[in-house]
Amino acid sequence: MAEDLWTRVIREMDQAAEQRWLTSPLAEWMAERHDQAAEILSHQHLSWAKAAEAFAAYGLKDQLGRPPTAETARETWQRVEERRRARAQKIPPAGAGGIVR
């Protein structure tokens, strides 16, 4: 079945935004492995300092190419979570109408 225009436009805009938004290897890693990462990073007693050390040991970097600090890791995770929630709310369900091409 052909993709309707609305769905195609939303998908293309989302891909463009994703490319600009995921500008660090750390953010990409968190987004790509969200479900597994959430099990650990959403824990109430998480030590962001230890998490940052683990990310650095794994070779993950922040936007500036540096090993992440505890603050950078925490803020990056918050942005990943915010982005995920926003995307869940904005993408129309399949068959929501629109122009069919």
- pTM > 0.95: no
Q: Is residue 9 part of a domain?
A: yes
Q: Is residue 31 part of a domain?
A: yes
Residue 92 · residue 14 · CB < 8 Å:
no
Quote the number of domains for the chain. 1
Q: How many CB atoms lie within 10 A of CB 31?
A: 18
Q: Is residue 97 part of a domain?
A: no
Query: Which tens digits make up the pLDDT trace of 47-100?
Result: 999 999 999 999 999 988 999 999 999 999 999 998 888 888 876 545 445 444
Range of the domain at 23: 5-90
Q: Is residue 96 part of a domain?
A: no
Residue 28 · residue 77 · CB < 8 Å:
no
Closest to 10 measured CA to CA, from 87, 84, 100: 87
Q: Is residue 25 part of a domain?
A: yes
Mean pLDDT of 9-33: 78
Q: What's the pLDDT score for residue 93?
A: 47
Q: Is residue 99 part of a domain?
A: no
Longest dimension (CA), the chain: 51
